[in-house]
Chains A and B, each alone.
Chain A
Amino acid sequence: MTKKTGAEILWECLVREGVEVVFGLPGGAIMPVYDAMLYYPIHHVLVRHEQGAAHMADGYARASGKVGVAMATSGPGATNLVTGIATAMMDSSPIVCITGQVHAHLIGGDAFQETDVTGITLPITKHNFLVTRAEEVADVVREAFYIARSGRPGPVLIDICKNAQVEEVEYSYPEEVSLPGYLPPTHAPMEDLKRAAELIEQSERPVILAGHGVMMSDAMEALSVFATKTQTPVAMTLLGLGSFPASDPLNLGMMGMHGEAYCNLAIQNADLLLAFGMRFDDRVTANLRTYAPRARKIHIEIDPSEVHKNVEVDVPLVGDLNTVLTDLIPLVDEYDHEEWRSEIEEWRGESQARDIMTWPDDGKLYTAHAIRDLWEVTNGEAIITTGVGQHQMWAAQYYHFEKPNRMITSGGAGTMGFGLPATIGAWFAKPDEEVWLVDGDGSFQMTQAELSTAMQEGANIKIAIMNNRFLGMVRQWQEFFFESRYSGTPLSCPDFVMIAEAHGIPARKVTEPGEVLPAIEFARQTDGPVVIEFQVEKEEAVYPMVPTGADLDKMIRRPIRNEPTAAD
């Protein structure tokens, strides 16, 4: 036993958890922690706004599969984390946020920069802790990391009072966590597995719905084995992209509001849905009353509260997806489903005729085309991060992911401004991989300040800003549902090239299709951060689109167009 301060114990435990990098910004209530930091082998990334710290930790977690760590001072520092924590909560991303708090004896007295952070974050964390004594630090850090990454992962917040940072106590590393109320499920019962196998046996038109859970449970291999053995087509959620290789013939691409038309048709016509680590979000089901009306449903899910939440299922299998799938595979036979697959292939053919990629070159710059080029050049292997809006949907549609954990995007919360900081975080997780941010002009400006962070860290990230001078997705809704009254959506932007250059970051502007590939090449050849501003078409719409509340197969489709019309 040795005596250490609470702050030292904190760093000691972070090192033991394998933490290599912490994203944060100091202030009065966390200064003892920052002071002790200097003596530990953990890199600190200074952010420009604490929201960025939470998103960086999130991006780091999603790219690495490890827990990301964000740090902030009390009061406004901590409240600035809130959007990032809510984003991580909605997408089940494992992050640990550490905030300073005023001295324990001052709590409740409205001291300077005192905010009830555990109260504020109660509904947006998986769990949170208020630490009032140095003795508690080690156990709490241990528990926080365990809770964040196990079961259904999620954000955990530790609020540490200033006195607990400076007090000296005997320290020994806690070898065990004691959480009597917390035991994430693993295996599903055998009788339920058998029941699932029966439904699979009886099915002629099955579809797998693969969600984020596939990657969080590391079940890519099991998914592939299951799909291949049973010849079941695989549809993916936005966050599930990459869980199954895009080039596999069984891949149906993305489902839902902006999903592939043939994918949504397959779901609506299925007689069995196999939901793997997904939660039937309204963006993927559309109208619940008419959702997959003829399909029986098997739901493999680690969080029992997700079962029957939005969609009543026939066989819930509560457990760890990889474990449950591995148990299920030997119970199912091999199938062919040739008729079903060829029916889907017909729908696929029809969908592709409407694809923007079939448009002849009309000299205009479309976001979808630029993303398609980026996909080709990077062999579909880059890590892609996004903001929220049209560019995000085009990235999901036209960047075909071969590998997992490469689509890093805010799905459940749809947080604009997630992109740039998440990109920086992802780069810290995978410094040797190609990391591209595909962002919108609106989203980018929300956390643009983190360009200085990228510069200070020399982050080798490539930033593609799709500048349509609109809050594009909202403009699209206005076009479709509000008779094109563009209220609050036209956006003046700074010259993003100058913004980048002011940071010492090399940049290019692209205004026509011929400049796309050279600009991408320039970015790839240049070390460190690079910004490419694409001046894209202002009023292009994302298709297909299922309007809110409509049936999943009642999509607004892109008009078929083979010749540029006079209006162009």
Chain B
Amino acid sequence: MQLTLIALVENKPGVLNRVASLFRRRNFNIESLNVGRTEKADISRMTIVLENGNVDARKVEANLYKLVNVIDVQDVTNQPAVTRDLALIKVSATSEQRAEIANLASIFRARIVDVAPDSVIVEITGTEDKIEGLVELLSPLGILEMVRTGQVAMMRGSASGVRYAPGANGSKDLEKVTN
């Protein structure tokens, strides 16, 4: 099982380092960690996927709140959330094999974004499972390189993820903070 959390953090230098350092110190295993800009210039958003060997989401949340720059944490594991990962997969392909790859790609709604004499790059976006599925089928052809962004997640509709201790950060006025 994996845990997926969303953290809103102040967009300041070194914040990623603080989060990574905290996870290392507390012995939390990061599966993937994605950081990017949000609709607000001064706030960045992290999607953190952890192996939940020895941790639960409540503990991760409580520790994240120890960091001064962390504004909000939500646990979206098993919640109605959209999660996506993007992968670029370079597969060795002779001209005869291209059609087969194109076929597979279209089943997965993936795209071929580069064609070279002896390889192609397939781009796929989707859930972890979907990407794993395509990787499995492409493997026999010979995967030369692969890069993945790690998951990003967003709750559907107006729902939010689980906040275990909103009190952890006092009576934080989220509206005020994030608007």
Contacts and interface: CB of A to CB of B under 8 A. Distances in A.
Contacts of B61: 304
A307 B59 CA distance: 9
Nearest to B173: A183
Given A130-B14, A186-B170, A305-B65, 19 more contacts: A118-B14, A119-B17, A123-B22, A126-B66, A126-B68, A127-B67, A130-B13, A180-B177, A181-B9, A181-B169, A185-B167, A185-B168, A186-B171, A304-B165, A305-B62, A305-B66, A309-B59, A318-B165, A318-B168
A126 B22 CA distance: 11
A185 B169 contact: yes
- A interface, size bucket: 20 to 34
Contacts of A130: 13-14
Contacts of A308: 58-59
Interface residues of B, number: 29
A180 B71 contact: yes
Interface string A110-129: 00000000110011001100
B21 interface: yes
A184 B66 CA distance: 10
Contacts of A122: 17-18, 21
A90 to B, nearest CB: 13
Contacts of B59: 305, 308-309
Nearest to A188: B167
Interface string B148-179: 00000000000000000101111110000100
A181 B21 CA distance: 18
A180 B25 contact: no
Contacts of B125: none
Contact of A318 (B10, B71, B167): B167
A179 B66 CA distance: 13
Nearest to A306: B62
Interface in B1-59: 9-10, 13-14, 17-18, 21-22, 25, 58-59
9 contacts: A123-B21, A179-B68, A180-B71, A181-B69, A183-B171, A186-B171, A304-B65, A305-B63, A308-B59
Contact of B167 (A123, A147, A189): A189
A316 B73 CA distance: 20
A183 B169 contact: yes
A147 B68 contact: yes
A182 interface: yes
Contacts of B62: 303-305, 307
B68 A183 contact: no
B70 interface: yes
B21 A319 contact: no
B71 A181 contact: yes
Interface in A181-210: 181-186, 188-189
A123 B69 contact: no
The CB with the most chain B CB atoms within 10 A, among A186, A304, A307, is that of A304
A540 B39 CA distance: 67
A209 B102 CA distance: 67
B48 to A, nearest CB: 16
Nearest to A307: B62
Contacts of A147: 68
Contacts of B66: 126, 303, 305
A319 to B, nearest CB: 7
B170 to A, nearest CB: 3
Contacts of B21: 122-123
Nearest to A192: B167
Contacts of A305: 59, 62-63, 65-66
Contacts of A184: 170
